[in-house]
Amino acid sequence: MKIQNIVKITLVAALVGLVLACAPTSNSTPPVSQNDVNVPSTEQPSSVPADSSSDSRINRSKTEIQEVIKLDTYNRFRVIYNQFLKKRPGFGGKIVLQFKIMSDGTVEDVSVLSSTTGYEEFDAAIAEDMGQWTFASGNYKNAKVTIPFTFYE
């Protein structure tokens, strides 16, 4: 069983590396696979300007937000999920996070809007980690993002 999981994780890592290496350079990005083992899936984020002031700053594109989320979901959330699987094998579920991306690229005001994991310690670890993510800085308006993450073994 352990060898099968190692093979699956290795295959997923290789496939993700291939997808990232072959990613198109245009504004379109391929969707996140819902079938990856031990990789939380994400849906398209909903993003709205967090401030309504009329200034010269621009809105962040959903594509840009999704690119960072895909990469950090795999590199960060997968590691956290696997750590918690050791404590509670077989758990999974969906966490809906809401957070604000500031113009400098930092993340603030992370909150868990809902969760079906039944594992508050895990939910808190995911929310805490999300607060450490960074997006590109620039002449951007602050953006409030709501996005679900699905975790499964």
- Please give the Cα distance from 16 to 72 (Å, whole number): 12
Domain that holds residue 101: 2-151
Question: Is residue 8 over pLDDT 70?
Answer: no
Domain count, the chain: 1
**In this structure, what are the phi and psi dihedrals at residue 102, rounded to the nearest 5 degrees?**
-85, 165
Token pair recorded at residue 47: 């993003």
Q: Is the pTM of this model over 0.85?
A: no
16-74: pLDDT as tens digits: 333 333 333 333 333 333 333 333 444 555 555 555 555 678 888 888 899 999 998 88
